[in-house]
Structure 1
């Protein structure tokens, strides 16, 4: 069977696109790949996260995405960049996960097989 789906791209809410870009580039090592009046694209290691301008913090605080990654290396990097993160934890479902909450409440779950 041919593969018709090539990748997924989370689209998360942002209360302030500049603050979002500053956090993701400064603390998490992303780079800004595109900016528009109500939209921003950030990328790292071949992955993208898109952000749409939103004025409701409740939406951001109830949004999340899952990113497969090397949790230990990212933990070390994020912590050295001043991000408020706790060490990765092995979850009952067999994944080692690192959680990051951005300034607007979006939850990023970085995970890998334990």
Structure 2
């Protein structure tokens, strides 16, 4: 009965979040309200709520399944500087992105 999950991340500034996720990660804004933002790419949605405590964002992460090598190349072509994907001992290849407010996005795929 469950069809999907949608991470809801903290944003200290929704305009900054929208710019980062669109320009650097290739997402498109579906909704930009005064206190809420919805971004989407390739069938994946990320939601953001407006907060004022950076500590919340810095202690939040989400896991996104995808082709980590292709995503790394795409993000790098968009000017994002990040380490290449790593193969983890739990059988996943992972790519890590930290957004401007401290949220950790873990992109992963089976090795």
Could you tell me which runs of 5 or more consecutive residues in structure 1 were left unpaired when the two chains were aligned.
none
Q: Structure 2 unaligned runs (5+)? A: none
Rg larger in 1 or in 2? 1
Task: Report the Cα offset of residue 85 of structure 1.
Answer: 1.2
Distance 1:88 1:100 in 2: 10
The answer for the alignment partner of 2:25 in structure 1 is: 28
Superposition RMSD in Å: 0.5
> Which residue of structure 2 aligns with residue 102 of structure 1?
99
Task: Give aligned pairs, total.
Answer: 111
Q: Answer yes or no: is the 8 Å Cα contact 1:66–1:111 preserved in 2.
A: yes
Give CA-to-partner distance per residue, 1:38-94, whole Å, 9 cap, x none: 000000001100000010000000000000000000000101111121100000101
Structure 1 segments (4+ residues) deviating >4 Å: none
Say which SS state the counterpart of residue 52 (structure 2) adopts.
coil
